[in-house]
């Protein structure tokens, strides 16, 4: 974590039960070599005492604009200048709303307005508050202004509910902060990646699926985040950990994947469709478990919408749309056909007949085609091949700038 060594981090703590984790965060940031100054909102004091933060950080905690002694020692403007990074963790719904609207009605929001240091927030709240349209609009506003948003994670919440809204763990936040300080080739770009299979339910216990592991899409998401991109990953059912700094949306069926992708599309610079979306789904999903009868069972299947083709002709089309193609023969010909027919900028084709690469493997090799060029990537680890493909995406975006 040496990227944070010597950094002067202003840690804003707002009102939420996750404030207790901010105490550990202070330690973790210090372990990474950073100096930490804690600024609490008034409400945060209902969850954790200032003495805890003062003891851990070795600095008096600031919380009021009107504390004359503290202002005399270091005014709020000096404090705003002192910070090389600002991290608000937890960032409550109220704090996020105030930041989005440029309020300066307490010390923390005033500092956020007065600093020219990069600001990151780690939202923490009930899942319905997080999903609320007003909250999402505020988050979009902040992102558009360059505020980094770390998390939130999915999982059990203090309120007893389960869903997105939990603050990332201290070590994850340290990793995110360290990553976001790096300026990579994809810094400032927003990428949407789909990954994994889709499961099309026949009845409450059976489904049609495929062998996609999601590893290639997850590797792309992880590498894109490491290259500085703001990454949203729409994942089918896979047992893989969310890469650090990546926003993940879990889905099951092709129709859910389409909905999640179209909802996340506005403002994206690139879309990479690695998901092995089912081409067909059962015409109907039985409400009850289907009972066996007779020797032959005929299933009626319907075509699923082609998400990739829809993204490529969408009014909010990202500038770079990348498809994947799994082929067993005439790879170049079929891949170029899909590039043209679906209106893509790049297509990455796998030869799935080749041993040692593809589906469950950690290795891959891709032939990438654009309208006027082709590139051979790998064979190698999926992370390496992902990085090479992202370099092509970065080249493409730069050429269209």
Q: Residue 235 — φ and ψ, nearest 5°? A: -115, 135
Q: At what angle do helices 107-114 and 93-100 cross, to 10 degrees?
A: 40
Stretch touching ligand CTP by CB under 6 A, among 110-118, 263-271, 301-309, 374-382? 301-309
Tell the burial category of 16 from Cβ atoms under 10 Å away from its Cβ (0-12, 13-18, 19+).
buried
Tell the burial category of 161 from Cβ atoms under 10 Å away from its Cβ (0-12, 13-18, 19+).
exposed
Told to check if 275 binds ligand CTP by CB under 6 A, we report yes
Q: Which of 67, 306, 351, 362 binds ligand CTP (CB under 6 A)?
A: 306
Stretch touching ligand CTP by CB under 6 A, among 21-29, 60-68, 82-90, 320-328? 320-328
Q: Which is nearer to ligand CTP, 228 or 323 (CB)?
A: 323
Q: Which of 236, 273, 318, 358 binds ligand CTP (CB under 6 A)?
A: 273
> Position of tokens 């010909």?
333
Q: Would you list the DSSP string of 175-195?
A: HHHHHHTS--TTTT-EEEEEE
C-beta separation of 95 from 88 below 8 A: yes
Stretch touching ligand CTP by CB under 6 A, among 9-17, 93-101, 164-172, 302-310? 302-310
Q: What is the DSSP letter of 66?
A: T
Retrieve residue 389's tokens. Answer: 């493909």
**Residues 202 to 231: which contact ligand CTP by CB under 6 A?**
none
Give me the least distance between CB of 299 and ligand CTP, in Å please. Answer: 18
- What gap in Å lies between CA 187 and CA 274, rounded to an integer? 22
Stretch touching ligand CTP by CB under 6 A, among 37-45, 65-73, 271-279, 293-301? 271-279
Set 112, 159, 176, 320: catalytic member:
159
- What gap in Å lies between CA 121 and CA 334, rounded to an integer? 45
How many of the chain's residues bind ligand CTP (CB under 6 A)? Answer: 15
Q: Which is nearer to ligand CTP, 29 or 331 (CB)?
A: 331
Told to check if 325 binds ligand CTP by CB under 6 A, we report yes
Residue 159 bears catalytic tag: yes
Q: Which of 65, 159, 238, 326 binds ligand CTP (CB under 6 A)?
A: 326
Q: Which of 31, 42, 161, 279 binds ligand CTP (CB under 6 A)?
A: 279
DSSP strand pairing (363-369 vs 374-381): antiparallel
Kindly give the residue spans of alpha helices, DSSP state H, lying in 238-381: 254-264, 307-312, 331-342
Interface pattern 225-264 for ligand CTP (x via CB under 6 A): -----------------------------x----------
Give the residue among 147, 150, 156 at the shortest CA–CA distance from 172: 150
Q: Which is nearer to ligand CTP, 50 or 208 (CB)?
A: 208
Cα 96–99–103 angle (5° rounding)? 130
Give me the least distance between CB of 205 and ligand CTP, in Å please. Answer: 24
Told to check if 308 binds ligand CTP by CB under 6 A, we report yes
Cα 252–248–178 angle (5° rounding)? 160
Stretch touching ligand CTP by CB under 6 A, among 7-15, 304-312, 368-376, 385-393? 304-312
The site for ligand CTP (CB under 6 A) is made up of 194, 254, 273, 275, 277, 279, 304, 306-308, 323-326, 338
Question: What residues are annotated to the active site?
Answer: 159
């Amino acid at each position: 974590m040496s990227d944070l060594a010597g950094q002067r981090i202003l840690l804003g703590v707002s009102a939420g039960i996750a404030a207790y984790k901010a105490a550990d965060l202070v330690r973790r940031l210090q372990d990474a070599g950073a100096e930490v100054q804690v600024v609490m909102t008034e409400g945060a004091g209902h969850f954790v005492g200032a003495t805890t933060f003062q003891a851990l950080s070795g600095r008096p905690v600031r919380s009021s604009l009107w504390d004359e002694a503290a202002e005399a020692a270091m005014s709020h403007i000096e404090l705003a200048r002192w910070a090389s990074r600002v991290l608000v963790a937890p960032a409550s719904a109220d704090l996020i709303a105030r930041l989005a609207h440029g309020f300066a009605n307490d010390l923390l929001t005033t500092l956020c307005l007065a600093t020219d240091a990069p600001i990151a927030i780690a939202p923490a709240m009930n899942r319905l508050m997080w999903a609320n349209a007003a909250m999402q609009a505020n988050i979009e506003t902040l992102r558009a202004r360059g505020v980094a948003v770390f998390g939130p994670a999915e999982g059990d919440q203090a309120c007893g509910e389960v869903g997105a809204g939990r603050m990332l763990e201290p070590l994850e936040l340290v990793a995110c902060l360290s990553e976001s300080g790096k300026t990579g080739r994809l810094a400032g770009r927003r990428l949407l990646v789909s990954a994994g299979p889709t499961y099309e339910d026949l009845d409450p216990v059976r489904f049609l699926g495929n062998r996609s592991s999601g590893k290639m899409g997850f590797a792309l998401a992880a590498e894109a985040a490491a290259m500085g991109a703001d990454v949203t990953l729409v994942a089918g059912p896979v047992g893989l950990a969310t890469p650090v700094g990546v926003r993940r949306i879990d889905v099951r069926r092709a129709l859910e994947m389409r909905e999640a992708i179209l909802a996340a599309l506005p403002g994206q610079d690139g879309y990479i469709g690695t998901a092995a979306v089912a081409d067909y789904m059962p015409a109907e999903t039985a409400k009850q478990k289907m009972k066996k009868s007779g020797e032959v069972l005929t299933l009626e299947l319907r075509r699923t919408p082609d998400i990739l083709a829809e993204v490529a002709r969408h009014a909010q089309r990202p500038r770079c749309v990348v498809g994947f193609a799994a082929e067993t023969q005439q790879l170049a010909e079929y891949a170029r056909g899909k590039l043209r027919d679906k209106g893509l900028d790049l297509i990455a084709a796998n030869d799935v007949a080749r041993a040692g690469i593809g589906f469950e493997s950690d290795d891959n090799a891709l032939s990438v085609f654009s309208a006027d060029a082709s590139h051979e990537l790998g064979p190698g680890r999926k992370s390496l091949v992902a990085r090479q493909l992202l370099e092509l995406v970065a080249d493409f975006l730069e050429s269209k700038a």
